[in-house]
């Protein structure tokens, strides 16, 4: 009888040990999974707008993945898909090692016209208004923006969370963000597209300069009054258009996209 009880207890202990091992294995497997879902850490709720915005007319500057006023500099294995323009500056450095899958336009008619069209597009975006415009401030990381017009009276940053644009099933939906001062992203922050949103329908009108952190992922057409800086490994689906300053690159990928 004693032997039978001992064997029974031993079997129970073995089952408990096996169950514990299975639980620990499951926890480790789930902890090791990586998700590409946006990281949400901003409790602010953005109201849905009823006023639809028309696309910002880019005209001749639409062909440019990059255009600058002062100069373009690059270090590392940057890859650009689209034309690169400069006017009235004359200095473009770092190609190679950078790769340009397009034409280089330095003070050509196309570059000059592109800069004029950029000014028109910038002013068009800056002048937009509507009754249900949404005001943004500070860190917009973690937010989900639906189609419409957004305004900031100072600077904006995408930090401590990722940013999502949700077109709500309308691939023609337009997003316009007016920023009085600077735009920045911290390292590793991402912009996600949802509900049919397209990078080509997102417009950032930046009152001063834009800076993108290391390995950050950004979407949209950036129209900056001054300069645009991409830190190492940052990527952009859209356009980097600087009116008066320079565009600085460091092993980046820039594609005009859809």
Identify the pLDDT of residue 253.
Answer: 98
- What DSSP string runs through 107-156? SSHHHHHHHHHHHHHHHHHHH---TT-EE--EE-TT-EEPSEEEEESS-E
- Tokens, residue 138: 């500070």
Place 6 in a pLDDT band, splitting at 50, 70 and 90.
Answer: very low
What digits encode the pLDDT tens for the residues 217-241?
999 999 999 999 999 999 999 999 9
**pLDDT above 90: residue 4:** no
Average pLDDT, the chain: 88
Mean pLDDT of 94-111: 98
**pLDDT above 50: residue 9:** no
Vertex 66 angle, CA 62 and 70, to 5°: 120
Place 15 in a pLDDT band, splitting at 50, 70 and 90.
Answer: very low
Mean pLDDT of 62-85: 98
Q: Parallel, antiparallel, or unpaired: how do β-strands 156-158 and 134-135 relate?
A: unpaired
Identify the pLDDT of residue 44.
Answer: 73
Beta bridge partners of 212: 185, 230
Identify the pLDDT of residue 18.
Answer: 42
**pLDDT above 70: residue 98:** yes
Contacts of 47 (CB under 8 A, 6+ apart): 132, 134
Identify the pLDDT of residue 202.
Answer: 98
**pLDDT above 70: residue 11:** no
Mean pLDDT of 46-60: 95
Identify the pLDDT of residue 42.
Answer: 62
- The C-alpha atoms of residue 177 and residue 34 are separated, in whole angstroms, by 31
**pLDDT above 60: residue 135:** yes
């Amino acid at each position: 009888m004693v032997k039978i009880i001992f064997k029974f207890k031993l079997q129970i202990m073995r089952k408990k040990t096996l169950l514990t091992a299975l639980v620990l294995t499951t926890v480790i497997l789930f902890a090791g999974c990586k998700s590409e879902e946006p990281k949400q850490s901003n409790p602010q709720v953005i109201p849905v707008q009823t006023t639809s915005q028309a696309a910002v007319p880019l005209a001749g500057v639409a062909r440019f993945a990059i255009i600058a006023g002062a100069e373009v500099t690059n270090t590392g294995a940057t890859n650009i898909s689209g034309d690169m323009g400069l006017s009235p500056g004359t200095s473009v450095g770092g190609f190679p090692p950078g790769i340009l899958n397009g034409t280089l336009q330095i003070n050509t008619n196309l570059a000059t016209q592109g800069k004029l069209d950029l000014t028109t597009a910038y002013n068009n975006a800056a002048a937009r208004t509507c009754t249900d415009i949404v005001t943004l401030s500070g860190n917009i990381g973690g937010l989900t923006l639906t189609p419409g017009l957004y305004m900031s009276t100072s600077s904006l940053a995408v930090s401590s969370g990722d940013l999502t644009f949700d077109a709500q099933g309308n691939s023609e939906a337009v997003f316009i963000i007016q920023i009085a001062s600077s735009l920045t992203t911290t390292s590793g922050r991402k912009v996600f597209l949802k509900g049919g949103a397209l990078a080509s329908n997102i417009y950032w009108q930046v009152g001063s300069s834009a800076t993108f952190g290391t390995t950050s992922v950004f979407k949209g057409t950036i129209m900056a009054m001054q300069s645009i800086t991409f830190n190492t490994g940052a990527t952009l689906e859209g356009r980097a258009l600087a009116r008066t300053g320079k565009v600085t690159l460091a092993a980046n990928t820039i594609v005009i996209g859809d």
